[in-house]
């Protein structure tokens, strides 16, 4: 039977494939693809884990108190029986052999199949045995994790391998941590769906950076979908279709082909300079998470890196944070790859929906915070960890010897923070120079992410060389909503008049003071806002590499001067989106007339 599940569209396009289900109860085990030659070794790990758990249960039987002996021994015997049942370990083997799942993932997949079967049993007693299966499964998973030393939550990536001839795969999960999402950048997944999340949660942001279809906030998706179900992700409408009928499947395959043709057409623009119809040059930069992303930025035609999210160097490391030399090598690799184009490195921005591993003693304890989004995060955390902050600043300064570097400070809200940052920068510069290490061209900037930063912007710009507007958080803090919470996702509104006025005010003040200003949030990569941001005077956009071509197309077709004339009406409107669309139609007409005049002049 075909089922439709509705969620929030966060990354456009269509994905069709077999469902790979990561259930919420087992989302914290390692999931990665293995080399087919290692299949027997993974299966051996499963058997070893069964032996270990069997020994544990036998030992527990010997320790059961006399007064509770009969009941507990009977329960342990049931668990021992289940442990030896071929439906558990032996039936997980095909997941390893045919899908190339690691042992933990294979066992999780098989447990999901078994628990669904128990749910469908009519006999109440048999149905209740599902809990026993899950308990035995959890013991096996813990034994596997102990045996490998892998940290929970490591959705590791061995997926760069090409599984030619196999069905495409789609990931379905309750949620995916931002650090884990990074591992999918070179994986075989063609799309994903999560039960939770919002349009600008970091899971959604990484999906857009990967340019793969995604739907979040789909509520019960991970409970409805079964392992290996055929599914369609409609990233435009925010729909997940489970077991689609043949006619629907063919329609979506046609749409897939159309999307691929459009992407191929846009890719031809990658080496075309971004200049508006009235001659305004626009800087299109790339947002990246890891050093290897620099190649994608260059391939997309970026003229620099507008945001290097350095916190992703600190994630998935079981608490072992990168030292100065390791960071230096990562930053230098990006600077060298960009070949003289500017690289903007944001200092560590952890907190809220981007926690570090629990093993890290330096991690902010979000579980003790009433509201992590308002807690110890971003520059607040860095200043509370001066040794870590100093290491990062020294590493960035050393990398600047190999090309122009911009240092970006996240979530600045207080002038006292500005002074502290300045002092740590001066100290880091002195320490690097004292070692005899070179420092190149470095500029210092602040992220505008809270309304307070907009209101004190002139004071900030007396210290900083540039500002970068993080629209995702600016919207969140202006409208007082958690952008990762699907319960209030409908209130997240980038078209809200207050948001637009704050952005326009920031751009105007920075331009008036002769300081650089860019937008590095999701609005920069959304074609619906390109003309509006141009009208506000923005000439530097930073976005995920996959979005550059579509934004460049809008820039090439825009008449910035005509758009600027309509800006006051848009900012004063109660419904800015409708006013902006009307202004765009006028601009398009003006641009067409200009092209027609130019063509006639050439022909004459």
Predicted confidence at residue 27, as pLDDT, reads 44
Tell whether 8 and 58 lie within a shared domain: no
Q: How confident is the model at residue 599 (pLDDT cuts 50, 70, 90)?
A: very low
What CATH number has the domain bearing residue 201? Answer: 3.50.30.10
Q: Is the pLDDT of residue 71 over 70?
A: no
Q: Which of 124, 128, 215, 165 is nearest to 36 (CA)?
A: 165
Q: How confident is the model at residue 492 (pLDDT cuts 50, 70, 90)?
A: confident
- Average pLDDT over every residue of 222-246: 92
Q: How confident is the model at residue 426 (pLDDT cuts 50, 70, 90)?
A: very high
Q: Is residue 100 in a domain?
A: yes
Predicted confidence at residue 356, as pLDDT, reads 64
Last residue of a domain, one of 148, 177, 193: 148
Q: Is residue 286 in a domain?
A: yes
Q: Is the pLDDT of residue 518 over 70?
A: yes
Tell whether 210 and 337 lie within a shared domain: no
Tell whether 239 and 339 lie within a shared domain: no
Predicted confidence at residue 602, as pLDDT, reads 36
Tell whether 345 and 257 lie within a shared domain: no
Q: Is the pLDDT of residue 594 over 70?
A: no
Last residue of a domain, one of 148, 164, 196: 148
Last residue of a domain, one of 148, 177, 194: 148
Q: Is the pLDDT of residue 595 over 90?
A: no
Q: Is the pLDDT of residue 446 over 90?
A: yes
- Residue 288 in contact with residue 305, Cβ under 8 Å? yes
- Average pLDDT over every residue of 248-264: 90
Domains in the chain, number: 3
Q: How confident is the model at residue 371 (pLDDT cuts 50, 70, 90)?
A: confident
Length reported for the chain = 604
User: How does 491-506 read in b/e, with b if 16+ C-beta sit within 10 Å?
Assistant: ebebbbeebbebbbbb
Question: Could you tell me how far CA 516 lies from the centroid of its own chain?
Answer: 26
Q: How far apart are CA 203 and CA 198, in angstroms?
A: 9
Tell whether 138 and 162 lie within a shared domain: no
Lowest-confidence region among 184-193, 293-302, 407-416, 573-582: 184-193
- Residue 194 in contact with residue 221, Cβ under 8 Å? yes
Predicted confidence at residue 164, as pLDDT, reads 36
Q: Give residue 287's domain range.
A: 273-595
Q: Is residue 210 in a domain?
A: yes
Q: How far apart are CA 512 and CA 61, in angstroms?
A: 77
Q: How confident is the model at residue 66 (pLDDT cuts 50, 70, 90)?
A: low
Q: Is residue 602 in a domain?
A: no
Predicted confidence at residue 494, as pLDDT, reads 94
Tell whether 476 and 379 lie within a shared domain: yes
Q: How far apart are CA 414 and CA 463, in angstroms?
A: 13
- Average pLDDT over every residue of 464-474: 96
Q: Is residue 601 in a domain?
A: no
Q: Is residue 549 in a domain?
A: yes
- Average pLDDT over every residue of 205-228: 83
Tell whether 467 and 494 lie within a shared domain: yes
Predicted confidence at residue 23, as pLDDT, reads 55
Tell whether 280 and 242 lie within a shared domain: no
Query: What are residue 541's DSSP bridge partners?
Result: 284, 519
Predicted confidence at residue 157, as pLDDT, reads 39
Q: How confident is the model at residue 202 (pLDDT cuts 50, 70, 90)?
A: low
- Average pLDDT over every residue of 476-489: 82
Identify the active-site residue in 202, 366, 544, 580: 202
580 has catalytic annotation: no
Q: How far apart are CA 272 and CA 549, in angstroms?
A: 10
- Average pLDDT over every residue of 204-214: 77
Q: How far apart are CA 137 and CA 439, in angstroms?
A: 54
- Residue the block writes with tokens 């992410």: 449
Tell whether 280 and 314 lie within a shared domain: yes
**Residue ranges with strand state E in 113-208:** 169-173, 189-194
Q: Is the pTM of this model over 0.85?
A: no
Predicted confidence at residue 316, as pLDDT, reads 67
Q: Is residue 603 in a domain?
A: no
Tell whether 173 and 301 lie within a shared domain: no
Identify the active-site residue in 79, 100, 520, 544: 520
What pLDDT, in 10s, does the model give residues 528-557? 999 999 999 999 999 989 899 999 999 999
Q: In a 10 Å sphere around its CB, with 0-12 CB exposed, 13-18 middle and 19+ buried, how is residue 432 labelled? A: buried
What CATH number has the domain bearing residue 116? Answer: 1.10.274.10
What pLDDT, in 10s, does the model give residues 36-46? 999 999 999 99
Tell whether 113 and 193 lie within a shared domain: no
Tell whether 104 and 176 lie within a shared domain: no
- Average pLDDT over every residue of 438-461: 97
Predicted confidence at residue 532, as pLDDT, reads 96
Share of the chain above pLDDT 70, in %: 83
> Mean pLDDT score of the chain, rounded to an integer?
84
Q: Which of 596, 597, 562 is nearest to 582 (CA)?
A: 562
Cβ neighbours of residue 537 closer than 8 Å, sequence gap 6 or more: 507, 508, 511, 564
| Residue, of 259 and 523, whose pLDDT is higher | 523
Q: Is residue 600 in a domain?
A: no
What CATH number has the domain bearing residue 299? Answer: 3.20.20.60
Q: How confident is the model at residue 357 (pLDDT cuts 50, 70, 90)?
A: low
Q: How confident is the model at residue 263 (pLDDT cuts 50, 70, 90)?
A: confident
Sign of CA dihedral 81, 85, 87, 91: positive
Predicted confidence at residue 409, as pLDDT, reads 98
Provide the 10 A C-beta neighbour count for residue 126. Answer: 11
Predicted confidence at residue 135, as pLDDT, reads 79
């Amino acid at each position: 039977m075909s089922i439709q599940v509705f969620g929030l569209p966060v990354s456009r396009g269509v994905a069709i494939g077999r469902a790979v289900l990561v259930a919420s109860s087992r989302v914290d085990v390692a999931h990665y693809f293995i080399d087919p030659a290692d299949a027997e070794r993974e299966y051996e790990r499963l058997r070893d884990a069964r032996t270990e758990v069997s020994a544990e249960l036998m030992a527990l039987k010997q320790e059961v108190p006399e007064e509770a002996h009969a009941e507990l021994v009977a329960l342990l015997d049931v668990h021992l029986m289940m442990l030896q049942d071929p439906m558990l370990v032996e039936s997980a083997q095909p997941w390893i052999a045919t899908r190339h799942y690691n042992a933990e993932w294979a066992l999780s997949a098989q447990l999901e199949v078994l628990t669904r079967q128990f749910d469908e049993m009519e006999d109440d007693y048999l149905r209740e045995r599902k809990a026993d299966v899950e308990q035995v499964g959890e013991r096996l998973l813990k034994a596997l994790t102990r045996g490998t030393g892998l940290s929970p939550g490591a959705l590791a990536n061995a997926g760069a391998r090409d599984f030619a001839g196999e069905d495409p795969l789609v990931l379905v999960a309750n949620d995916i941590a931002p650090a884990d999402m990074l591992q999918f950048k070179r994986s075989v997944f063609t799309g994903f769906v999560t039960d939770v999340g919002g349009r600008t949660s970091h899971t959604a942001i990484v999906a857009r950076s990967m340019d793969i279809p995604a739907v979040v906030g789909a509520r019960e998706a991970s409970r409805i979908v079964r392992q290996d179900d055929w599914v369609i992700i409609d990233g435009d409408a925010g729909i997940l279709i489970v077991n689609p009928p043949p006619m629907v499947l063919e329609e979506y395959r046609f749409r897939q082909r159309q999307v691929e043709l459009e992407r191929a057409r846009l890719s031809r623009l990658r080496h075309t300079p971004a200049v508006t119809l009235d001659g305004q040059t626009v800087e299109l930069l790339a947002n990246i998470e890891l050093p290897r992303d620099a190649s994608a930025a260059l391939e997309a035609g970026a003229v620099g890196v507008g945001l290097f999210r350095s916190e992703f160097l600190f994630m998935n490391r079981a608490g072992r944070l990168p030292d100065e030399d390791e960071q230096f090598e990562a930053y230098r690799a990006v600077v060298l790859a960009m070949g003289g184009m500017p690289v903007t490195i944001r200092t560590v921005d952890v907190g809220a929906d981007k926690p570090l591993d629990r093993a890290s003693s330096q991690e902010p304890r979000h579980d003790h915070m009433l509201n992590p989004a308002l807690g110890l995060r971003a520059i607040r955390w860095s200043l509370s960890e001066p040794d870590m902050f100093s290491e990062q600043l020294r590493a960035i300064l050393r990398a600047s010897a190999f090309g122009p570097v911009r240092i970006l400070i996240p979530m600045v809200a207080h002038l006292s923070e500005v002074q502290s940052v300045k002092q740590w920068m001066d100290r880091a510069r002195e320490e690097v120079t004292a070692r005899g290490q070179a420092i190149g061209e470095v500029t210092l900037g602040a992220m505008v992410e809270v309304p307070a930063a907009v209101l004190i912007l002139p004071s900030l710009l007396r210290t900083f060389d540039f500002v970068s507007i993080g629209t995702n958080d600016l919207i969140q803090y202006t409208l007082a909503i958690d952008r990762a919470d699907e319960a209030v996702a409908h209130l997240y509104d980038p078209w809200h008049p207050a948001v637009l006025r704050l952005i326009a005010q920031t751009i105007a003040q920075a331009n008036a003071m002769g300081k650089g200003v860019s937008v590095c949030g999701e609005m920069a990569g959304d074609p619906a806002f390109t003309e509006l941001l141009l009208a506000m005077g923005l000439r530097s956009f930073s976005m995920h590499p996959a979005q550059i071509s579509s934004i460049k197309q809008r820039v090439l077709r825009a008449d910035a001067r005509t758009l600027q004339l309509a800006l006051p009406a848009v900012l004063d409107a109660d419904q800015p989106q409708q006013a902006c669309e009307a202004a765009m139609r006028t601009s398009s007409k003006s641009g067409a007339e200009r092209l027609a005049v130019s063509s006639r002049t050439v022909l004459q």
